Amino acid sequence: MAKRFEPTARQLRLAVELRRLRDAAGLSSREAAALLGVSAPQISQIEAGLAGVSESRLRRLAANYSCTDEELIDALVAIANDRTRGWWEDYRELLPTPFLDLAELDYHSSYRCDVEFLFIPGLLQTEDYARAAFSSRIPDIPEEELELRVRHRMQRKVILEEPAHVPYEAVIHEAALRIRVGDRATSRAQLARVLELSEADHISVRVIPFDLDGFGGAWSPMMLAGGAVPRLDTAVRDAPHGTGFIDSEAQLAVFRTLFRRVEAASLEPAGSRDFIHRLAKDL
């Protein structure tokens, strides 16, 4: 199979999981290669995401690694067999790679959760709000790239639309609802859009008011994307050096706990809608 020069985040995740299975089995790459009848460099390339792996070879590797989790194996096979060329590929070499990886992650998610403190979550943003948000974060961004980023963000929202919608939950701090990103009209339209989307059966919006007691808080944005099985969940965090995709079991457990705490401290969806209605009237 041809060598890849820039594997996607999804291809890298498959590579990481195969490496974890081999490590759990206590085998070296040379030993795994001997069991499969290939060279050690081939195993290394597969585990680096630089080469694909066929379904038959993947299942042989899983058997040699004594992995009996059939749901996990089937999920890994689905990734290995995936030949999807999604809409995000149109942006390759036009936008930074994390934009493409995030859209791919959205597309394959079984559920999505966002926690935001200063901005409305991207999947809920209007076009004007997204344009103002990108402009405020990168003041000198070229107009062409700004419009590419806005268009990309608008296309990401396809996962919330019928018929293939993904269950989605957003927890938004009051600060993000009150901060004016853009002008008053932009803020009003954005709150109206959040309220409109929150009425959908598969979308839940919860608010953390300033004066809410018992908020344990994460204090920085985070995102959870469900995999085909829980082991393949992914957490995403923005950092000064860029977007970070987190997939270790220990770290995922921390993020799930953080999300449950933030969710438990927030208002119920109905109360959150009432809260946003009141804020909108004050604008």
Domain CATH number, residue 74: 1.10.260.40
Query: Is the same domain home to 180 and 42?
Result: no
Query: Is the same domain home to 77 and 116?
Result: no
Identify whether 207 is part of a domain.
yes
Number of domains composing the chain: 2
Determine the pLDDT at residue 13: 96
Query: Is the same domain home to 114 and 62?
Result: no
Cα 119 from chain centroid?
16
d(CA 80, CA 260): 32
d(CA 158, CA 148): 16
Those residues whose C-beta lies under 8 Å from the C-beta of residue 69, and which sit 6 or more positions away, are 229, 231
State the average pLDDT over residues 76-98: 94
State the average pLDDT over residues 4-32: 93
Identify whether 22 is part of a domain.
yes
- The token pair at 235 is 């957490």
Query: Is the same domain home to 170 and 274?
Result: yes
CATH code, 202: 3.30.870
Phi, psi for residue 125 in degrees, rounded to 5: -75, 145
Query: Is the same domain home to 64 and 178?
Result: no
d(CA 193, CA 123): 11
Tell me which residue range forms the domain holding 16.
Answer: 9-81
Per-residue pLDDT tens over the stretch 145-193: 999 999 999 999 999 987 778 999 999 999 999 999 989 999 999 999 9
Query: Is the same domain home to 35 and 116?
Result: no
Those residues whose C-beta lies under 8 Å from the C-beta of residue 280, and which sit 6 or more positions away, are 188, 191, 192, 195
pTM value is 0.92
Give how far Cα 3 sits from Cα of 41, 57, 60, 121, Å. Answer: 12, 17, 21, 36
Determine the pLDDT at residue 221: 87
Determine the pLDDT at residue 216: 59
Determine the pLDDT at residue 5: 72
Identify whether 252 is part of a domain.
yes
Query: Is the same domain home to 278 and 241?
Result: yes
Query: Is the same domain home to 180 and 75?
Result: no
Determine the pLDDT at residue 3: 60
Query: Is the same domain home to 113 and 210?
Result: yes
| Residue in the block written with tokens 């959870």 | 224
Query: Is the same domain home to 176 and 271?
Result: yes
Question: Which pLDDT band, with edges at 50, 70 and 90, does 228 fall under?
Answer: very high
Query: Is the same domain home to 175 and 277?
Result: yes
Mean pLDDT over each residue of the chain, to the nearest integer: 92
Q: For residues 135 and 39, is the Cβ–Cβ distance under 8 A?
A: no
Residue 235's H or E segment, with its range, is strand 234-239
Determine the pLDDT at residue 163: 78
Cβ burial of 146 (10 Å; 0-12, 13-18, 19+) is: middle
Question: Which pLDDT band, with edges at 50, 70 and 90, does 6 fall under?
Answer: confident
Per-residue pLDDT tens over the stretch 36-66: 999 999 999 999 999 999 999 999 999 999 9
Q: 241 pLDDT exceeds 60?
A: no
